[in-house]
Each structure stands twice: as structure tokens, then as C-alpha cells.
Chain A
């Protein structure tokens, strides 16, 4: 059990560019979640998968955001045409049997200039 990993850990991009983040969950975990966190706030739910099926996407998420989890293993989160307001920490978490006990990765810090 190597824990949840995320790549890259930091990303600096110019406004208007597209970015893609990767999350590798704990290997036997079938549920995978994406969150966004800004300074002084709690993690904000973005979307979640059970195996390869995307079960819910936050209404706060614009059409510029898309996530995939092919084959129910790793997941990618893509942000198109980035805006300065997208600057945040993007966290991935996974869980096995429960919704409430989630294991978080170290996050990807995105800075949009």
C-alpha cells in the first residue's frame, strides 16, 4: 500500500492554457474523488467515480473541467482554458468500502498567471 499519489505536485501555467493532472489511488480502492481547496477553506467536492463510472459532478464545475477514470484505475482531471480563479490545490482521494473514510493524496498546486 503506497498511498494515493498525484502528479505533478506543482503546476504553473498561463491563463488560457490547458492543464491535466493525474491521480493514482490506493490499488484496491474502487472509489475516487477530486476536490479543490483554496487557502483557509475546506476541500470543495468536484466529482467522484465508482470504478470507471463518473457518478456525480459538482454543479459548481464549469464545462472547462473534465475528469476520466479509464479502466477504473488512475484518474485524470483536465482544465481547459485556465483562468486565474482556477488557482488552487487540487486534491484526489480514494476509498474502498465507505464514503466517509477517504485517503487523500498530497495534491497538485495549480498557479495560473
Chain B
């Protein structure tokens, strides 16, 4: 079977740093990606990790540990516009579909 676990909600303060964790159990693993979705909007791609380590893209970074079946998304210098749902997604094989987690709703307090 395939399962991805991430916290349902996280709250943080504007300007702070927040980490959203994702653990996965899938029949195969090729890579882990992250998507952002604002209320009423479409998911948008943020980052992708196929190898262990940290990938940095501006204020967002994503980490993967294949041996631990674990990854996280790190958001720095939080802004109110970062209030959204964040989904981790696994592609079990190179040319296969991706499977999304249930998402983490990020609330940002002023």
C-alpha cells in the first residue's frame, strides 16, 4: 500500500521559521515533491528531492532522508501570504503517477 503522513495543521508567527514534516510508506520511491495550495486555488509546485539532503529555493527549503522515509519543507521569514495548505507527494517510480498526502494547513499569526 501507499501512505503519506503529515500534520493536519501547523501554526506559526509572521517572520518565524516553520517545518512541515512528511513520512511515507510506498511500494517504491523515486522522489518527494512539495506543493502549495491557497484556499480556492490550484496546487502549485514548490520543490523536489530525489537524493538525500537539502534543496533550497529562496525562502523555502526541502529535505529528504531516503533511509528514514522522511522529508520536510522548511519555510523561513514567514509572510501572511504563506498561509495555505502544503502537500507532500511521492512518485513511486520514475515514470509513474505521484501520490499526494492529505496536506498540512499552515496558519500564520501576525
Contact = CB atoms under 8 A, between A and B. Distances in A.
Contacts of B33: 100-101
Contacts, number: 54
B104 to A, nearest CB: 10
Contacts of B31: 100
B102 A42 contact: yes
B60 interface: no
17 contacts: A33-B97, A42-B89, A42-B102, A42-B103, A43-B100, A48-B97, A91-B43, A93-B43, A98-B48, A99-B94, A100-B33, A101-B48, A102-B43, A104-B42, A105-B42, A106-B41, A107-B42
- Which are the 8 A-B pairs with shortest beta-carbon distances? A42-B100, A104-B42, A100-B33, A100-B48, A45-B97, A101-B45, A42-B87, A43-B100
Interface of B: 31, 33, 41-45, 48, 87, 89, 91, 94-103
